[in-house]
Amino acid sequence: MILRLTPRRRFPSPFIALSLRRLSSSLPNITEDVGRSIHPTAIVHPDAVIGKGVSVGPFCTVGSSAKLGNGCKLYPSSHVFGNTELGDSCVVMIGAVVGDDDLPGYTVVGCNNVIGHHAVVGVKCQDMKYKAGDDFFLHIGDNNEIREFCSIHRSSKPTDKTVIGDNNLIMGSCHIAHDCKIGDNNIFANNTLLAGHVIVEDYTHTAGATVVHQFCHIGSFSFIGGGSVVSQDVPKYMMVTGERAEIRGLNLEGLRRSEFTISEIRSLRRAYRKIFISGDAVSLGMEERLAKTEQDKDLYGVPVVREMVQSIRDSFSENRRGISKFRHWSGS
């Protein structure tokens, strides 16, 4: 017996075709003379502010309070909701969501930002302080690349903001929680998770699967090794790693790449030895070691050394978490 397989026929759906025609005919005519390109299946509210040269792909949604700057591009099935403003030349990739219709406050995104595939930016935080009806805020600067499946939440209270600066690379599946303050030129590798109220300064670098406890402070030019759990502050210029992150030395490679001078790096190494490695690291307390470093006029006269010492001091101020643990070494 021979079975003969025939190809399955494809029947067009008159209902779908009719629905799309009706949707297209009901949209306002906003493609007239300013170079806009809006697909007929996109839903763009007539009150939305659409800049020149904007491209809105199939099945996108642009809400009534949204503002799209000149040259923005929304890829298919991406959505801009609520009181959300995108600056010029932003790109929202497939499936991404920016803003929230049901959340008072606003989401402001600067210019030349990329919101990756299925990223969720500017939605309600996951914090018990949240009170429905209050205003909540997110402010993102310019030239940031936010990759696929990232989540960035608005603040947890109306008196604060979640803030991200300029020129940051936030790789896939990262999370930036409510009320975080992120500076400029940072690199967060995949699955970096920042809890609420974390502060990250400038030019930091996290490796993959880094977890940072709420209220921690990550200093400029620091490096966090992969798989680390950071539960206390990381001072400027430091390298930390470990399941409970420990200070393992200076971020020497990061300093070189950032074009610190040989003289600056040598001075930082001398100061680091005084604070963390010399015999004083065992016999004296942290305050005494910092004071001895400050008394070395030649060493403390170097600006980067002063910044490192001040960064350590600040970590012991009120409402801070102290610095990450470090090993007591002896010798040079």
Angle between helices 303-315 and 286-295 (to 10 degrees): 160
As a whole number of angstroms, the distance between CA 62 and CA 110 comes to 17
- pLDDT of 265: 98
Q: What is the pLDDT of residue 284?
A: 81
pLDDT at 281: 57
Say what the pLDDT of residue 22 is: 41
Q: How far is CA 234 from CA 92, 201, 302, 320, in A?
A: 33, 10, 21, 11
CB count within 10 Å of CB 104 equals 15
- Report how far residue 180's alpha carbon sits from residue 200's, in angstroms, rounded to the nearest whole number: 8
Residues in the chain: 332
Q: What are phi and psi of 324, to 5 degrees?
A: -60, 155
Q: What is the CATH class of 30-197?
A: mainly beta
End-to-end CA distance of the chain: 87
Burial of 18 (0-12, 13-18, 19+ CB in 10 A): exposed
Active site residues: 178-179, 196
The β-bridge relationship of strands 55-56 and 97-98 is unpaired
Which of 149, 239, 143, 234 is closest to 190 using CA atoms? 149
Nearest to 234 by CA among 264, 273, 201: 201
Whole-angstrom CA distances from 1 to 4, 5, 6, 7, 87 are 10, 13, 16, 20, 67
CATH superfamily of 262-326: Udp N-acetylglucosamine O-acyltransferase, C-terminal domain (1.20.1180.10)
pLDDT at 318: 85
pLDDT in tens, the chain (332 residues): 443 433 443 434 433 343 434 444 444 444 444 689 999 999 999 999 999 999 999 999 999 999 999 999 999 999 999 999 999 999 999 999 999 999 999 999 999 999 999 999 999 999 998 999 999 999 999 999 999 999 999 999 999 999 999 999 999 999 999 999 999 999 999 999 999 999 999 999 999 999 999 999 999 999 999 999 999 999 999 999 999 999 999 999 999 999 999 999 999 999 999 999 876 656 788 999 999 999 999 999 999 999 999 999 999 998 899 999 986 554 43
Distance CA 124, CA 315 (A): 30
The DSSP line for 284-312 is: S-HHHHHHHHHH-HHHHTSHHHHHHHHHH
- H/E element, 257: helix 252-257
The two tokens of residue 214 are 């709420």
Residue ranges per structural domain of the chain: 30-197, 262-326
| Residue from 216, 230, 231, 311 nearest 268 by CA | 311
C-alpha to C-alpha distance for 62 and 84, rounded to whole angstroms: 10
| Cα–Cα dist 145/8, whole Å | 44
